[in-house]
Structure 1
Amino acid sequence: MIETILNKIEEYETIIIHRHERPDPDAIGSQSGLAELIKSTYSMKKVYVVGEEEPSLRFLSTMDEITDSTYEGALVIVCDTANTERISDQRYSKGDFLIKIDHHPNEDPYGDIVWVDTEASSVSEMIVDLYLEGKKRGFSLSDKGALVLYAGLVGDTGRFRYPNTTTKTHQYTGELLKFNIDQSEFYSQFYKKDLKMTRLEGYIFQHFEVNEYGLGVMNLTSDILKQFNVTANESSQLVNCFSDVEGLKAWVFFVEDEDSEDIRVRLRSKGPHINQIAQKYRGGGHPMASGAKAKDWEETKSIVADLHEACRSYQ
Structure 2
Amino acid sequence: MSDDRARVQAYLDHVRVEKRLADRTVALYTLDLEKLSTQAREAGVLLTAVQNAHIRRWVAQMHGAGRSARGIALILSGWRGFYVWLGRQGLIDHNPVQDVRAPKAGKPLPKALGVDDAVQLATHHEEADDPALEARDACITELLYGCGLRIGELVGLDVAASGQARGWIDAQEGEAHVLGKGAKRRSVPVGRQALAALAAWLAQRAAWAGDDPALFIGSRGQRLTPQHIRVRLKRRSRLAGLATPVHPHMLRHSFASHVLQSSGDLRAVQELLGHASISTTQVYTRLDFQHLAQVYDAAHPRAGTRAGQAPDPSPAVAETTKPRTTRSR
Give TM class, smaller chain: under 0.3
Q: TM-score, normalised by structure 2?
A: 0.22
Considering fraction of residues, name the structure with more strand. Answer: 1
Q: Looking at CA atoms only, which structure, 1 or 2, has the larger radius of gyration?
A: 2
Considering fraction of residues, name the structure with more helix. Answer: 2
Q: TM-score, normalised by structure 1?
A: 0.23
